[in-house]
Structure 1
């Protein structure tokens, strides 16, 4: 055979192999694209079905499709629907092999499986059914916010107004079911502590105001849009008057009378959740749910004691800098009652004070953060009906950014409002805390929809508390009182590790927990009492802040050490924020991979 014939044959073979490989690559790409499309379709279905199951989540996301809906979250039928929902999607997600998924898709799969597993675990307990109402966390308080007409439920069109009326019909069913479930709970040994019940009673009473001009649920008809016709205004005013007078007020009155009577008489005199059926197992579950770790109550309690000791040492330094003569506990009282730290008389002055803090830090934000959210934010005073039991909080803006994020500040008495911790508070609740973390997640088009609205307290509250530590880098904490306020805010979260585990796993009483807080932080006693009762109402939630903060700080220090000159703080913050709210172990895996790739 001639040389040129051999060459021709070899070229033909090579060309055939190349075509075969190209065909195989195209086939693999087609398969990968199909898997990716199927996977992302499954994620979208999960999100869309989830909105139908909880239409309030849709409303707060700015999705108006279900604004007329309020399912009975307390019914057996609803519980069954939830169980089926999470079971089905756990099975669906498990069918996808990790080797066929991109890194982002694998992260989404891990998060979805976590969601399904933790929610299925929650459904094995009766707590959410038998404790439908408390003074701090429950859906009736959210409905009061929406009823004000200035929250997430829109009141811009006649349809909007009618949607709210339809939603209230479902809410009345829920209110009636709440009483039924609490009676069942009483018989089964599930009842709130008396100290919490007495805080709920006036909240319910406020909604029975017979003067419709003063009733919160009649608020929307006092603020009609200018383009409404007189006919529409008259029709809606009549419909709202009828709804509030004939349905809302009677439902609240019945619930009030029950809770002020039989339920209060049956109220627990004990403090912790361990004193209820399956209480110890439930607390273990709550720790896992809120911290997204496998830490035990004992481990967290010891960590809390260690952090309290460390922060106390830092507080001593500030006390000496200020020149205060006396022990740390006396210094707490001095700060609590220092009239120079209560300079304002009107709530608006306090609101303006927070905006001034923002103006101070703006130039340095450019250095620490490459990305900033498009969603705007506002500072508002907490509504009066819930102000006495509320903490400062952040409510996210809508997914499309048209409704701003809101930082709510309770100001029961402006002349007694102490500003010593306002810089750290703003960093936590607004910028760069919850507002940056949540808004950047919602605006990230690379994330599937279901991840844009997730909130894991370990990550979310951990980020917000970590944000407080950035004050000096942002040009704040130049006043020693404000720096002490940051330390006190951090101490507040460290103390939580001690008292939450103390009450729910070590037999501490409410009074014992209050004393411990008074001895170790500068919060006023009324605020401490409110906080302790908050932890009583939702065991484990308060643990998330410090656990998450310490993990993010640990990861930052590791990155700084291993990357040296290659470490860029803006890029580290991008890495933490870009994936949205995720369980802490997944965050640690991500940062470790980033460090390895950067090196």
Structure 2
């Protein structure tokens, strides 16, 4: 999933809470609710792009210079002030909902403040999470930024104009980082340069930022259309194109020369402590990098055993790596001629599992859902991903599939498990149901914790056989490959950032243990190099959900109902795993 609330150059998603319910201490809860609502509103002003993505249009004209020292000081004060406010409340006097809010808010504030010890602003963007890429998506007119009214167009014009200031600060921060040894690996920088250069076009009409002009509503007057066309052409010519050229030139001519040849965070000053912090942040646990690494080794061995049994069941003669190569290269596994056939195949997966889906989920989202091909300008470096819909249902949840060459799209890549994860019942169900539930506090409606969100999606992959999928052994092998992929991540992410594993060694480990091309493994490993520890949340969260399901099945016996378990997992929104486990244990005790 593309975590649409996680942007490079932007700080952690602003969460908030608005209390509903009753309490023995009405005044206490009312004050707590007001404090949380203020936190929410203040946070949206600081992170207006996140506001745009959740459908709040009040700040669609803002693009904060979030790498500036002024902003960082403001952000620090914001977190410290609300942590002080939180200390004024007695958790025990709050009702159940407020206690969850208290726990999540405290965890969030503590982690945000601790994170300020590390100069993340010195690495303002990379080849995966980058405001320059997000701006391209928003400016294309096909993403969260609305282009339906004249004001919408005026808002985006202001946001575009601020991009140049943001870029100047990003370059300045790259330089500060280079001066103290906090720099990106060269392997990542060489991928960033063409991304910037692709936005430098000869005329405004050739820019993707001109697309909203082509899509202007017919209801606009001739004068409005002429004014917007002129203003957008001017902004693209004098702001957008020069800004991308400036970023590309700096990366190519200066930063690349100072980028490091090492792959991991521990190669930078203070990098080992920084990475340990990121592990805790992304897993929402107190696990050490070494504990995660050891879990990864055990899971790789376990899944490999199942893979071997599937290989043997289809009568393949040869070892597992030879089987991987067979699945990657045999033309029978690449039946598609054009992108539409691939998108239709994903919709077919959806339709096939609907009967069983209804048995396992009695609460389904109202938010519309679409399957789309990833835009060409970012497809080369993109993974399949889910972009959430808006809470009001006006913008659909979108499952994006990057297709560079349809004739090389391989069905054994795990199409069924991918759909379960990114689309239904994975991210689309979890995020949409949470956003639609207006009885939840805002921080649970619009917040996210990596281990919970990605853990749920990976857990959904394990439901394939129960949903009537994975009947074809090669699709099941693809699903096992996806699970192996998440297990491999636990090994290589930690090894890259704490054990001096090189990019090349990590790529080899990945291709040795799963059916992935060298190109695919390269993109994945480079992702972990640029966004440390994020990939650890998937397996950590999924194992916790599966562990709890297994425990409750034994504990509750005939009283265990899978749909009720799924309802309980999803109903309170995203939580840190420690808070989540306590909540689930209380639920199981109530069923007994």
By the TM > 0.5 criterion, same fold? yes
Cα shift readout 1:540-566 (whole Å, capped 9, x = no counterpart): 001110011101000000000100010
1:264 and 2:259 aligned: no
**What CA distance in whole angstroms lies between the structure 2 residues aligned with 1:422 and 1:561?**
32
Distance 1:93 1:63 in 2: 26
Is structure 2 residue 49 aligned with structure 1 residue 37?
no
Q: Is 2:542 the counterpart of 1:575?
A: no
- Given that 2:23 and 2:94 are in contact with CA atoms closer than 8 Å, whether structure 1 keeps it comes out as no
Instruction: Say if 1:103 and 1:206 are closer, same or farther in 2 by CA, change over 3 A.
Output: same
Q: Is the CA contact (8 Å cut-off) linking 1:371 and 1:574 kept in structure 2? A: yes
Cα distance in structure 2, aligned partners of 1:405 and 1:333: 35
Gaps of 5+ in 2: 1-21
Distance 1:198 1:50 in 2: 34
- Asked if 2 retains the 8 angstrom alpha-carbon contact of 1:141 and 1:386, the reply is yes
C-alpha displacement of 1:338: 2.1
Do structure 1's residue 167 and structure 2's residue 143 form an aligned pair?
Answer: no
Map Cα deviations across residues 495-548 of structure 1 (whole Å, 9 max, x no partner): 000000010011100000000001000012111100000000011001110011
Partner in structure 2 of residue 234 of structure 1: 226
Pair 1:390-2:400 in alignment: no
Give the structure-2-normalised TM-score.
0.95
| Cα displacement (A) at 1:481 | 0.7
**CA-to-aligned-CA distance 1:433-471 (integer Å, 9 cap, x gap):** 011111111111221112211111111000000000001
Match of 1:542 in 2: 535
Is it true that 1:406 corresponds to 2:398 in the alignment?
Answer: yes
Paired with 1:124 and 1:483, the residues of 2 have a C-alpha distance of 44
Task: Write out aligned runs for 1:328-367 (5 A).
Answer: 328-367=320-359
SS in 2 for 1:88: helix
**Structure 2 residue 134 is the aligned partner of structure 1 residue 142:** yes
Shift of 1:219: 1.6
> Which residue number corresponds to residue 17 of structure 1?
none
Q: Deviations over 1:88-111 (max 9, x none)?
A: 111112211122211111000000
Q: Are the equivalent residues in 2 in contact too, given 1:197–1:264 (CA < 8 A)?
A: yes
How far apart, in 2, do the equivalents of 1:446 and 1:93 lie?
22
Match status 1:323 vs 2:315? yes
Does the 8 Å contact 1:44/1:448 carry over to 2? no
- Give 1:53-68 correspondences, 5 Å limit: 53-68=46-61
For 2:306 and 2:130, the matched residues in 1 are separated by 37
1:552 and 2:545 aligned: yes
Whether 2:410 is the aligned partner of 1:428: answer no
Instruction: Find the partner of 1:200 among 158, 180, 192.
Output: 192
Contact 1:364 1:475 in 2 (8 A): yes
**Corresponding residue of 1:158:** 150
- Whole-angstrom distance in 2 between the partners of 1:579 and 1:505: 35
Q: Which deviates more from structure 2 when the two are superposed, residues 284-293 or residues 221-230?
A: 221-230
| CA-atom RMSD in angstroms | 1.1
Once residues 397 and 587 of structure 1 are traced to their aligned partners in structure 2, the CA distance between those partners, rounded to angstroms, is 24
Aligned residue runs from structure 1 range 461-472, under 5 A: 461-472=454-465
Alignment of 1:513 with 2:503, yes or no, is no
**SS in structure 1 at match of 2:371:** strand
TM-score normalized by the length of structure 1? 0.94
Q: Does 1:285 align with 2:285?
A: no
What is the CA–CA distance in structure 2 between the aligned matches of 1:444 and 1:547, rounded to whole Å?
A: 26
Contact 2:448 2:574 in 1 (8 A): yes
SS in 1 for 2:359: helix
In the TM superposition, 1:27-176 aligns within 5 A as 32-127=25-120, 129-176=121-168
Distance 1:318 1:75 in 2: 54
1:487 corresponds in structure 2 to 480
Local SS of the residue matching 2:411: coil
* Residue of structure 2 in register with 1:499 after alignment: 492
Query: What is the alpha-carbon distance in structure 2 between the residues aligned to residue 30 and residue 346 of structure 1?
Result: 58
Distance in structure 2 (CA, Å) of the matches to 1:534 and 1:378: 26
Q: CA offsets per residue over residues 3-46 of structure 1, 9 Å max, x none?
A: xxxxxxxxxxxxxxxxxxxxxxxxxx997222222111111111
Distance (whole Å) between structure 1 residues aligned to residue 353 and residue 41 of structure 2: 39
Separation in 1, partners of 2:310, 2:540: 25
Q: Say if 2:171 is the partner of 1:182.
A: no
Q: Distance in 2 between matches of 1:219 and 1:204?
A: 18
State how many pairs are aligned: 570
Distance 2:332 2:218 in 1: 45
Q: Distance in 1 between matches of 2:279 and 2:253?
A: 33
Alignment correspondent of 1:210: 202
Structure 1, unmatched stretches of 5+, are 1-28
Residue of structure 2 in register with 1:23 after alignment: none
Secondary structure (helix, strand or coil) at the match of 1:213 reads helix
Q: CA shift at 1:211, angstroms?
A: 2.6
Query: Could you tell me which residue of structure 1 aligns to residue 437 of structure 2?
Result: 444
CA distance in 1, matches of 2:347, 2:99: 40
Q: Following the alignment from structure 1 to structure 2, what is the Cα–Cα distance between the partners of residues 133 and 593? A: 41
